[in-house]
Structure 1
Amino acid sequence: MDQLASASALIDKCRPERPVRGLRPHAAGRAARWFLDKFPGDVAYAYKANSSVFLIGALYGAGIRHFDVASLPEIEDAATIPDAHLHFMHPVKSRHAIRRAYDLGVRSFSLDGEDELDKIMEATGGARDLLLWVRVAVTAINSRIPLERKFGAHGEKAAKLLIKTRQVAAELGLTFHVGSQTTTPDAFVTALGEVHRIIVKSGVMIDRLDIGGGFPARYPDSDPAPLQDFMDVILANIETMPVKENIKLMCEPGRALVAEAESLIVRVDARRGSNLYINDGSYGMLFDAAHLGFIFPTRLISRSVDASDPLVPFELWGPTCDSIDHMKGPFLLPDSVREGDYIEIGNMGAYARAIAGRFNGYGEYDEVILLDPPVLSMYGAENTQVAAARG
């Protein structure tokens, strides 16, 4: 794979027909080192966020050895990583997936109901070497994608489930998730308060506490609190836990580790007023922009523009024949942008690759490794939206 100084260098070299994924493994490595340095426990990468071998390699090189996996294909892929510790954290699994995971060496499973606990014990033949995590539901506060409606036990039910799980688990863990792209640390204050109450109500000792993911990335329409604020709040509240002396911690960052590590390079195939028709869209890597309203940083990379060229808002339309292939934005670009220009859409390393499909015959990408900084960063102040837009 080519390594280039920047997305602009790619366009100087060639004018690609297909959209291009621009990988920045160094950004993933930097994020991983930050978490490993700041978090006093296991950092388990949420594999579903991005399974690119280049980014997984960068995370591994930085020291990541724990992985949150949510499906059998993810487990079979991640099981090839040397010294990997896999945690099957999907609360609802098929018996086949549990059995196969156990055969591949997985001993860590989550659950949020007695039926799932029974299923795990039956599928593993009553194994006594399991780390079992009871997932509790917590309130989503300032999260872009709340997750508490689908999974998690509440209150008295959670306490009873902890008691029953304690009877069969070699190690007992408690886990929760505050929701994806949580922008303020008070979500963890509320969640850890609920965890505290459930532990006291159950009267059991837990061995592990997994605070889940939800750590944010930076986007033009989302400027979250610094990650250090999250760590300060989390650690201060864990200090109040009744089991703080013996508990082992884990977190599951996904977006925060890889969002900055991949961008999308697209071509403008038509301009109609403030609408740009590009060669990737909602059925490709821009699902979150179309269906969840994410606004990603954009910059023109195919030519220089005059400083007097104003930045104006654009809507984006993808290449398929479907009218919902639409990303409302607004995406800020120079007013002079025109057909044949190339745009870099930054901070797309989280989930975009995983969601992209092949509808209407599209969905083929080239890839390059880029050596420059991410378009926007949670880990440094070298970028601004204006600089990002102008390239």
Structure 2
Amino acid sequence: MQVWLERMTIAKNIESKSFPSVEAMLVDYHPEAPVYCLRKKRIQRNARHFVNNFPGKVLYAVKCNPHPWVLDACHVGGISDFDVASLEEVKLIRERYNNSTPYFQHPVKSRSAIRNSYRLHGVRHFAVDHLSELSKVVDEVDDTRGVTVYVRLATPPGGASEHFSDKFGASIDEAVSLLNRVRNTGFKCALSFHVGSQCYDPCSYQTALSVVGKTISRARVPITALDVGGGFPASYPNMAPPPLADFMKAIVEGVAAIGLGHEITLLCEPGRALVADGMSVVTKVYLRKGERLYINDGIFGSFAESSFNQFQLPARLVRLDGSIGNGLKPFTVFGPTCDSNDQLPQPVCLPEDICEGDWIEFSLLGAYSNALNTNFNGFRGCMFVDIDDT
């Protein structure tokens, strides 16, 4: 416990620093624990680019990476509103920003989360995908006229690395019924959908928008807003999606095809596309056994998403003497815990002479890394630094 407390004290001190490079951080600190290396300026640029190109309001998906520096970088980049999925995320946004609007777009919420977010934190935007969830919102909200309820639609599978509509989303028939109930209870009516995480096909948004069009046509209920969700991808070595412009074009054309008027507010919830390339993780080699490496981070830490998504992460050897090592070869990489499942799913190519004490920087870990980090076996990456090398 004492070691852990000392590590946290060091983490607080180092978090106040900014370094020109990962190497400079290593010279100054020689870390034993994993270090999250944020590129705040890169996230700011990504956010600004998204705001300038999306034809509506951009909400940052807090769940993707809730670190305050990440939130601030998105905010500086022009994103003033946030997609939240829990009461704790509502509190985080309300405590940090005075003029931001949290949108509670998780379609399944506890009654206390609805009640407290509405009464204590002024949340006025809620998503539902079932009549029972709508009933909870009705019970916990005092004045329906000031609240917008988003009926979340299920979308067809395909076009994304992870499909969400097996868990969330109403069918067209269910959504038609829900929209009429929403209107009859006095709420402002809206629709939303999510095509899935890491969408690689822009046409997925047009397919989802056609579902929106059919729902509106059948329900004959005017909507005030449409949230096209997240799913906007990042580029990985083994997955290079189309450029963001193709997704924006597909959404604009899809909205036009179903005849939505300019009076309807269009929203989106990017996460990964904003932050994936804005953070790397520096790990240390604890042991080498032939072609197997044991490092101080793994699937119970920063690489949790690797256990269910097969994104390849760039990796490089970092040595303070500047040497880059001999020719590359694939290594099996294990994390620090006692669980034999703590293994990166893909081989990692690194110099043949890598050894104990070397550092490895894994890039493209700004999304769903620290957000999914556990404290299993007492291991937890808890240090963040700013790297200004962009």
TM-score, L = length of structure 1: 0.92
Q: Distance in 1 between matches of 2:144 and 2:71?
A: 30
Task: State which of 29, 43, 52 in structure 2 corresponds to 1:14.
Answer: 29
Task: State which of 67, 73, 83 in structure 1 corresponds to 2:88.
Answer: 73
- Is the contact between residue 209 and residue 247 of structure 1 (CA under 8 Å) also seen in structure 2? yes
Q: Distance in 1 between matches of 2:272 and 2:240?
A: 14
Give, as a single letter, the amino acid of the residue that structure 2 aligns with 1:321: C
Give, as a single letter, the amino acid of the residue that structure 2 aligns with 1:92: V
Q: Distance in 2 between matches of 1:218 and 1:114?
A: 38
Superimposed CA distance per residue, residues 53-93 of structure 1 (whole angstroms, 9 cap, x where no aligned partner): 11111111122111000001111111121201110011011
Superimposed CA distance per residue, residues 72-126 of structure 1 (whole angstroms, 9 cap, x where no aligned partner): 1111111121201110011011111101000111000000011111110111135
332-341 vs 131-140, greater mean Cα deviation: 332-341
Task: State which of 290, 309, 325 in structure 1 corresponds to 2:307.
Answer: 290
Residue of structure 2 equivalent to 1:3: 18
Question: What aligned pairs does 1:177-216 form with structure 2 within 5 A after superposition?
Answer: 177-216=194-233
Question: What aligned pairs does 1:7-156 form with structure 2 within 5 A after superposition?
Answer: 7-80=22-95, 81-103=97-119, 104-156=121-173
Q: Distance in 2 between matches of 1:170 and 1:339?
A: 61
CA-CA distance at 1:39 after TM superposition: 0.7
135-144 vs 237-246, greater mean Cα deviation: 237-246
**Is 1:276 aligned to 2:297, yes or no?**
no
- Is the contact between residue 269 and residue 339 of structure 1 (CA under 8 Å) also seen in structure 2? yes
43-52 vs 239-248, greater mean Cα deviation: 239-248
**Is 1:352 aligned to 2:369, yes or no?**
yes
**Is 1:315 aligned to 2:364, yes or no?**
no
Q: Distance in 2 between matches of 1:153 and 1:205?
A: 18
CA-CA distance at 1:206 after TM superposition: 1.1
Distance 1:169 1:88, change over 3 A: farther
- Is the contact between residue 200 and residue 242 of structure 2 (CA under 8 Å) also seen in structure 1? yes
Q: Distance in 2 between matches of 1:368 and 1:228?
A: 31
CA-CA distance at 1:213 after TM superposition: 0.1
- Gaps in structure 2 of 5+ consecutive residues: 1-15
CA-CA distance at 1:296 after TM superposition: 1.3
Q: Distance in 2 between matches of 1:105 and 1:18?
A: 39
TM-score, L = length of structure 2: 0.92
Superimposed CA distance per residue, residues 31-59 of structure 1 (whole angstroms, 9 cap, x where no aligned partner): 11011100111101001111111111111
Give, as a single letter, the amino acid of the residue that structure 2 aligns with 1:213: G
| SS of residue in 2 equivalent to 1:329 | coil
Distance 1:326 1:306, change over 3 A: closer
- Is the contact between residue 177 and residue 219 of structure 2 (CA under 8 Å) also seen in structure 1? yes
CA-CA distance at 1:281 after TM superposition: 0.7
Distance 1:294 1:248, change over 3 A: same
Superimposed CA distance per residue, residues 157-212 of structure 1 (whole angstroms, 9 cap, x where no aligned partner): 11121122122344211000000111121211211111111111112211111000
Superimposed CA distance per residue, residues 129-158 of structure 1 (whole angstroms, 9 cap, x where no aligned partner): 111100000023231121010010012111
Q: Distance in 2 between matches of 1:241 and 1:22?
A: 43
Give, as a single letter, the amino acid of the residue that structure 2 aligns with 1:293: Q
Superimposed CA distance per residue, residues 309-337 of structure 1 (whole angstroms, 9 cap, x where no aligned partner): 33322221000111011102222222222
- Is the contact between residue 114 and residue 161 of structure 1 (CA under 8 Å) also seen in structure 2? yes
Give, as a single letter, the amino acid of the residue that structure 2 aligns with 1:149: D
Superimposed CA distance per residue, residues 231-284 of structure 1 (whole angstroms, 9 cap, x where no aligned partner): 011111111123333211000001111111211100011122322110011111
- Is the contact between residue 305 and residue 334 of structure 1 (CA under 8 Å) also seen in structure 2? no
When the two chains are superposed, the root-mean-square deviation of aligned CA atoms in Å is 1.5
CA-CA distance at 1:347 after TM superposition: 1.1
Q: Distance in 1 between matches of 2:317 and 2:197?
A: 29
- Is the contact between residue 318 and residue 324 of structure 2 (CA under 8 Å) also seen in structure 1? no
> Where does structure 1 differ by over 6 angstroms across 4 or more consecutive aligned residues?
none
Q: Distance in 2 between matches of 1:186 and 1:313?
A: 36
- Is the contact between residue 194 and residue 229 of structure 2 (CA under 8 Å) also seen in structure 1? yes
Give, as a single letter, the amino acid of the residue that structure 2 aligns with 1:229: D
Give, as a single letter, the amino acid of the residue that structure 1 aligns with 2:79: I
Task: State which of 180, 185, 198 in structure 2 corresponds to 1:168.
Answer: 185
- Is the contact between residue 370 and residue 381 of structure 2 (CA under 8 Å) also seen in structure 1? no
| SS of residue in 2 equivalent to 1:263 | strand
Give, as a single letter, the amino acid of the residue that structure 2 aligns with 1:142: G
| SS of residue in 1 equivalent to 2:146 | coil
Aligned length: 372
Distance 1:258 1:169, change over 3 A: farther
What percentage of residue pairs aligned between the two structures are identical? 39
